[in-house]
Amino acid sequence: MSPWLIGFLLLTAYPFFYSFYLSFTNFSMLRPPIWIGLSNYTRILTRDAVFRKSLSVTFTFVFVSVPLRLVVSLLIAMLLRRATRGMSFYRTAFYFPSLIGGSVAVAALWRNIFGRSGYINALLAVVGIQGRGWISHPDTALGTLILLNIWQFGSAMVIFLAGLKQIPSEMYESASIDGAGSFRQLIHITLPLLSPVIFFNVILGVINAFQMFTPAFVITSGGPVNSTYMYALYLYEKGFRQFQMGYASTLAWLLLVIVAVLTGINFYLSKHWVYYESGGKG
């Protein structure tokens, strides 16, 4: 275990605790860190308007994109669980966008779709509607990133597929005999028995959405008018463009606290809606 242990201590544990120390310092990477106590935290929480803006944008992104992504991935998973010819191909095709989600190719694709001269506007022009630069307009730029996050539903879909396969088919057969239609089976069988998987996807979705960086950096660079200025992008610019590494470390630890609090709330609320095999709630 020593190679793994050494790697963990040097590459994970040491940077983790050292960043906590740096959050209490003024450190520019060009000179030794200077201890300033809680000054970074006070400045961020009381005087940093960009922090509040980036946090607002990120919360909007999380609370809109995560539920929509879960709904889409669950619906697709329910369609793909059928044992029909060519289903392996369809599952691979639907999962593929998740593999290329952070690439420059996707950024170029999204610009070609939602740019002023993109495919969306070309389709609108056919019916006589003049489009806009969806990525370059502050009212719609964040929406394009939300659509991109929803489009990359492959990982959640695969987890839902695994959960759906664990639901006994006899339960659906019994419900059909009793006269339950597809909608009632969804409400009374699928969703309750799938609730632990839904809860797992919610936790992962929230954590990943708060760390969203690459699309905002590559596609919009936080613009226009900071409408897509994600928290992770602000953290990156403070640390690696402005070289305020102590301030960036403070931002990172505040993000950890925010995600931990939301995760704790989700775990608390899960006992009211997550059902396990024993028949009880979480």
Kindly report, residue by residue over 192-235, the tens digit of the pLDDT: 999 999 999 999 999 999 999 888 888 888 988 899 999 999 99
Per-residue pLDDT band for 23 (boundaries 50, 70, 90) equals very high
**Rounded CA gap, 14 and 11, in Å?**
7
**Rounded CA gap, 71 and 201, in Å?**
11
Provide the token pair at 44. 């961020």
CB-based contacts of 176, cutoff 8 Å, min separation 6: 185
Is 95 inside any structural domain?
Answer: no
Neighbours of 273 (CB within 10 A): 13
Is 173 inside any structural domain?
Answer: yes
Weakest-pLDDT range from 45-49, 58-62, 97-101, 183-187: 97-101
Most confident among 75-89, 91-105, 180-194 (mean pLDDT): 180-194
**Over residues 251-274, mean pLDDT:** 95
DSSP 80-140: HTS--TTHHHHHHHHHHHHHTTTSHHHHHHHHHHHSTTSHHHHHHHHTT-----TTTSTTT
Host domain of residue 65: 34-82+153-270
Is 174 inside any structural domain?
Answer: yes
Is 106 inside any structural domain?
Answer: no
Residue 71: what pLDDT? 95
Provide the token pair at 159. 């987890």
Is 44 inside any structural domain?
Answer: yes
pLDDT above 90 (res 44):
yes
Q: Is the pTM of this model over 0.85?
A: yes
**Rounded CA gap, 39 and 48, in Å?**
12
Query: Rg for the chain (alpha carbons), in Å?
Result: 23
Is 13 inside any structural domain?
Answer: no
**Rounded CA gap, 181 and 190, in Å?**
12
Tell me what the pLDDT averaged over the chain comes to.
90
Nearest-5° angle of CA 175, CA 181, CA 182? 100
pLDDT above 90 (res 82):
no
pLDDT above 80 (res 180):
yes
Tokens 């900071």 correspond to 226
Is 77 inside any structural domain?
Answer: yes
CATH code, 188:
1.10.3720.10
Residue 86: what pLDDT? 74
Weakest-pLDDT range from 42-51, 125-134, 183-192, 237-246: 125-134
CB 191 within 8 A of CB 171: no
Looking from the CA of 92 toward its CB, the CA atoms found within 13 Å total: 4
CB-based contacts of 281, cutoff 8 Å, min separation 6: 270, 271, 272, 273, 274, 275
Is 218 inside any structural domain?
Answer: yes
Residue 280: what pLDDT? 57
Structural domain count, the chain? 1
